[in-house]
Amino acid sequence: MKKLEIEIPFKSFKPKSFPVPVVTPVFSVDGQRIQIPCIIDSGADFCTIPISIGRGLGIDFTKIAPNEIRKKWADLDGGNLEQTAILIKEIIERRLVVPTTYGCACGQITEAYYYPATIEINDFKKEILILWTPRDISPLFGRTYLFDSIQEITFKKGEKTIIKT
């Protein structure tokens, strides 16, 4: 894979607000593309985006994965990186909608869906699994199947973030 170094700025949404590291990737599904600023969240297991944007990209969330895949996902040991990578690869290749529930830092449990999309940041491009949530949240740039393509993420004195792939 080509080595890249991408500098990510911190963004203040209004004067005097706390600046946050924001990356602005393009997400695409079957040729439909939307650029979605995401807050870099190394604590988030997956990139997490409101489901309305997924529908805007043309995803049909009613086409649910077969039971065998849903059971595999429910039984998955997230700590087993090899097993996780194999199952995610299968979900991406078969373009499956996998229902799930997830908990956020506030403690609320939410029903959501996994579905793949392609992420592009400058010359970096990869198909990843996105967690599509019904909650009206700021999109998050999370770890799984994405951070493993990145050698290093450096936050530099709150001014910018450097991603090395």
Partner 1 sequence: MSEDNSKYFIKKDFSRYSGKWVAIHNQKIIASNSNIDIALSDAKRKIGREQFLFAKIPTKNQVLIL
Residues that bind partner 1 (CB under 8 A): 9, 11, 13-15, 17-18, 20, 22, 24, 26, 31-37, 39, 41, 43-44, 50, 52-53, 56, 105-106, 136-140
Which one, 13 or 148, has the nearer CB to partner 1?
13
Which one, 42 or 80, has the nearer CB to partner 1?
42
Which one, 34 or 76, has the nearer CB to partner 1?
34
Least distance between partner 1 and beta carbon 95 (Å): 20
Which one, 35 or 80, has the nearer CB to partner 1?
35
Q: Which two tokens stand for residue 1?
A: 């894979």
Least distance between partner 1 and beta carbon 94 (Å): 25
Least distance between partner 1 and beta carbon 125 (Å): 12
Least distance between partner 1 and beta carbon 127 (Å): 18
Give per-residue burial for 76-100: e unless 16+ CB within 10 Å, then b. eeeeeeeebeebbeebbeeebbbeb
Q: In sequence order, what DSSP letters do the residues of the chain get, joined into one string?
A: ----EEEEEEE-SSTTSPPEEEE--EEEETTEEEE--EEE-TT-SSEEEEHHHHHHTT--TTSBPPHHHHHHHHT--TT-HHHHHHHHHHHHHHT-BEEEEEE-TT--EEEEEEEEEEEEETTEEEEEEEEEESS----EE--TTTGGG-SEEEEETTTEEEEE-
Least distance between partner 1 and beta carbon 33 (Å): 4
Which one, 96 or 142, has the nearer CB to partner 1?
142
